[in-house]
Amino acid sequence: MRPRPLTTLAVLAGSLALTGCSGGTAQAPAADVAAKAEFTGTLSVLTKFAGDPLSPYFEKLAAAYEKQHPGVKVELIQETDQSIKDKTKTLTASDALPDIYFTWTGNWAENFVRGGRAADLTKVIGPDTEWGRTFSRASLSAFAYDGKYYGIPLYNNGKFMGYNKAAFAKAGVTVPTTFEELIGSCQALRKAGFEPIAFGNKDGWPALHYLQQLFAYDVPDQAREADVRPATAKLDHPGYLAALKQFKTLVSDCTDTGSGTNGVLYTSAQEAFANGKAAMYYQEILEFDSTTAGRGLAAKDFGIFPLPVPSGAAGNPEVIEGAPEGYLVNARSPRAALAVDFMKFVTAPENAKTLSAPPYGQPSTVVGAVTPETSSKAVFEGIELVNAAPKLASWLDMVTVPEVADAWLAGGEALISGGQSPEQVLESVRQASRSAQ
């Protein structure tokens, strides 16, 4: 999951622009990623794996790599979903990015590429290279810009509605096949003693996850994809208003907090579902295994389904919201070749299978790593649905420019609180898009 204040994106973009314009980073000599690695010195790695159950993954890999190469010390900087934005912002502003660092796709990664901070990895990870062929092409393409490949995709991800099978059975509810059926099921679930959908929006971004999936359903692909870039954005398709109204209905009819959900933490909603108090919770594949890790919800009672498509939707009913997440190599690192060698080790088949299995449950982008034998039933089912989707709708707060992302963030919060109507929210986003041109 990715709780992240969107203002960090604006600050990050500004930091990169300033350092690029000053003649520092953008004009630095290109790192020789294809050179023979020298196994000496300290290799620094910024991860998003702090805390249980994820932190041991990189810790064990670092120890194993150091054992293979006694002259190398791997220095891990482990951050959480929430703290990594501030850490990345600080390191970027001080020109102290580590040799390897975590990245999302979309505008976030593109900022580093444009700022000259990400090494061009095409020679070593392009789809026709030995290493590149171990990954799915779609995951590699998610980090490609202007025909060059910059990212190392570590795991894939998608957004699904998790549900408690026992709660559904008690309420006499079946898995909904339309958005209208989803809304209609909430009354029965509430009567059965459950909060229908646990939802916390204190960090702002959870609302955008609902909206982006609904936008994919309600707005044709071509229009939606053009609208994320201010230069081509019109934001005039009626599907946007339809989606905003659908989301407002879901908050009003299916959550116990309603307009107060802006004050509820995402983790509080997660816990309400994991402890059996809520019947549903909209979550990422990356959360599936932690949801059932020693809490009230047994793995046998945990099921998933895509957010159902609204009746008469004008967009693409087969699109799933999601994107891979991965790592970049610092373009200025004198240890770029060593960084590549370490990431080849991290993404080796056996390590990829370990990453995909409980307790980590992070579905690797390495081909063949996610199987019914290596992964939990829910993770395998989720990644199969992601892989089968004709395309993915990337996170709304990552795919567009910071100014527009911030407008969507504020709009989602205002829609929930009642401070703005769907029409007012959409107009505020249009204004932000025009200003960003």
pLDDT tens digits, residue range 297-355? 988 999 999 999 999 999 999 999 999 999 999 999 999 999 999 999 999 999 999 99
Residue 387 has pLDDT above 70, yes or no: yes
The mean pLDDT of 95-122, rounded to a whole number, is 95
**Percent of the chain residues past pLDDT 90, beyond the cut:** 80
Distances from the Cα of 284 to the Cα of 105, 210, 433, angstroms: 16, 12, 28
**The domain at 7-157+323-369 falls in which architecture?**
3-Layer(aba) Sandwich (3.40)
Residue 127 has pLDDT above 60, yes or no: yes
Sign, Cα dihedral of 113, 117, 120, 125: negative
Structure-token pair, residue 332 = 């200025």
User: Using 50, 70 and 90 to split pLDDT, how confident is the model at 17?
Assistant: very low
Helix or strand run (H / E) with residue 50? none
H helical segments located in 192-306: 205-218, 221-227, 238-254, 266-274, 288-291
Residue 193 has pLDDT above 70, yes or no: yes
As assigned by CATH, the class of the 159-321+396-435 domain is alpha beta
pTM across the whole model: 0.83
The amino acid that residue 286 corresponds to is L
Pairing outcome for strands 302-305 and 159-164: antiparallel
**Whether 255 contacts 196, CB under 8 Å:** yes
The mean pLDDT of 162-191, rounded to a whole number, is 98
Residue 122 has pLDDT above 80, yes or no: yes
Q: How far apart are CA 421 and CA 419, in angstroms?
A: 7
**Whether 265 contacts 272, CB under 8 Å:** no
CB atoms within 10 A of CB 371: 12
- Summarised one tens digit per residue, pLDDT across range 259-282 is 889 999 998 999 999 999 999 999
Cis peptide before 5 (omega within 30 of 0): no
* Model pLDDT, residue 23: 35
> In the chain, how many H helices and how many E strands?
19, 13
- DSSP for 335-357 reads THHHHHHHHHHHTSHHHHHHHHS
Taking the domains of the chain in order of start, what are their residue ranges?
Answer: 7-157+323-369, 159-321+396-435
* Model pLDDT, residue 4: 44
> What SS3 class is residue 56?
helix
> What SS3 class is residue 126?
coil
- Summarised one tens digit per residue, pLDDT across range 302-315 is 999 999 999 999 99
* Model pLDDT, residue 27: 44
45-80 b/e (C-beta count within 10 Å ≥ 16 → b):
bbbbbbeeebeebbeebbeebeeebeebebebbbbe
| Residue closest to 387 by CA, chosen among 242, 313, 307, 285 | 285
* Model pLDDT, residue 391: 84
- DSSP for 136-185 reads -HHHHHTTEETTEE--EEEE---EEEEEEHHHHHHHT----SSHHHHHHH
Mean pLDDT of the chain: 91
